[in-house]
Structure 1
Amino acid sequence: MTQIAPLTLDTADTATAATLKAVKTKLGMVPNMFATLAHAPAALNGYLGLSETLATGRLSAAQREIVALAAGQANRCQYCLSAHTLIGKGAGLSEDAIAAARTGKGANALDDAIAGFTRALVEQRGVVATEALASYRRAGLDDGLILEVIANVALNTLTNYTNHVADTTVDFPVVAV
């Protein structure tokens, strides 16, 4: 049972309702996770701002979805796994690439490093061994990409934890954790 109910356009304050309407215009719906974050407009706006900014980085949309899937699986977030399975398909990931990302793997050396580094960050709470980091670097992660992956993990951890605490109702095709 949901522990923090999502706001609706009718129950949100005027500014937050405008933000949720903008989300609806962009996505065609207001996902429950966004409507739940709307209880804290600073959190919602922070999420949206960081997400928009990270979309201008060097990681492709598909690579950002690899991060989301690897982090979502490591954090066991059914909501995010369900959402990012659908979004990942839209970003060009195949079923095999989605399954691989969830296990911390990728279809090529760089995607494999992104997925593996993501899993290591989450599972090891940001403490990644020097030799592991060297391996990710050899596969193509430079300092900038390392920091982008970290930023994307932070963004996804926000949503993973929000969904765990709120017990957000999944409003995407549900996938098993």
Structure 2
Amino acid sequence: MPRLPRLTPDTAVGASRDLLADLVSRHGQIGDMVSTMAHSPAVLGGYFQLSRAMGRAKLDRKISERLSIAVQALQGCELCLDAHVSAARALGVDEEEIERAHAGTSADPAIAAIITLALQIYREPTSITDEQVIALRAHGYSDRAVADVVGVVALNILTGAFNLLAGLTPGAGLTAGSDTGA
């Protein structure tokens, strides 16, 4: 059961009211996470900015969805995990690779290496080595793509932690969405 109520443009105040009103006018509806995030205009605005910025990441979407699956499997946000699994399927990632991502790996050594990096960023960033970054470059990842992994992990920490705090779960009459509210 949600711990925080959803807000609408009518019930939100200040900057959150304006952000929600703009979203409703552009998209017609907003997701549960976004409507609940509106309790904090700072969190809601930060989510929108980071989400938009990560839309410009150089990582292949199939890879970034696998990174998100691996992080959410650890973090425990079922709402986010369901959304990222659905997105991976829509992009054509096969079920075996989705399961591998859930376990923190991939059959492709290059993808397994970048998933390992994402999980280290999540768990213990001090354990990342120079050799690891060199190996990622040898797998064909640019420095920009390697740096983008931090953004993917950060966005997942933000959304997953928020959903867990707010008590947002799948199947509780809540909707997962795209950038208008996972």
* Pairing of 1:118-129 with structure 2 (within 5 A): 118-124=118-124, 126-129=125-128
Q: Within 1, Cα distance between the matches of 2:106 and 2:8?
A: 38
Q: Within 2, Cα distance between the matches of 1:77 and 1:112?
A: 22
Partner of 1:40: 40
* Pairing of 1:42-81 with structure 2 (within 5 A): 42-81=42-81
RMSD of equivalent CA atoms: 2.3
**Is contact 2:105–2:111 with CA below 8 Å preserved after alignment?**
yes
Q: Are the structure 2 counterparts of residues 119 and 22 from structure 1 closer, same or farther at C-alpha, using a change threshold of 3 Å? A: farther
Matched, 1:155 2:155: yes
Q: CA deviation at 1:75?
A: 1.0
Partner of 1:139: 139
Q: Are the structure 2 counterparts of residues 140 and 127 from structure 1 closer, same or farther at C-alpha, using a change threshold of 3 Å? A: farther
Select between 46-55 and 159-168 the one with higher mean Cα deviation. 46-55
What's the secondary structure of 2:127's corresponding residue?
Answer: coil
Count of matched residue pairs: 169
Structure 1 unaligned blocks of 5 or more = none
Q: Within 2, Cα distance between the matches of 1:22 and 1:80?
A: 25
Q: CA deviation at 1:148?
A: 0.2
Partner of 2:18: 15
Matched, 1:100 2:100: yes
Partner of 1:111: 111
Q: Within 2, Cα distance between the matches of 1:43 and 1:119?
A: 23
Q: CA deviation at 1:110?
A: 2.6
Percentage of matched positions with identical amino acids:
30
Rg (Cα) greater in structure: 2
**Is contact 2:9–2:18 with CA below 8 Å preserved after alignment?**
no
Q: TM-score, normalised by structure 1?
A: 0.81
Q: TM-score, normalised by structure 2?
A: 0.79
One-letter amino acid matched to 1:106: S
Q: Are the structure 2 counterparts of residues 78 and 58 from structure 1 closer, same or farther at C-alpha, using a change threshold of 3 Å? A: same
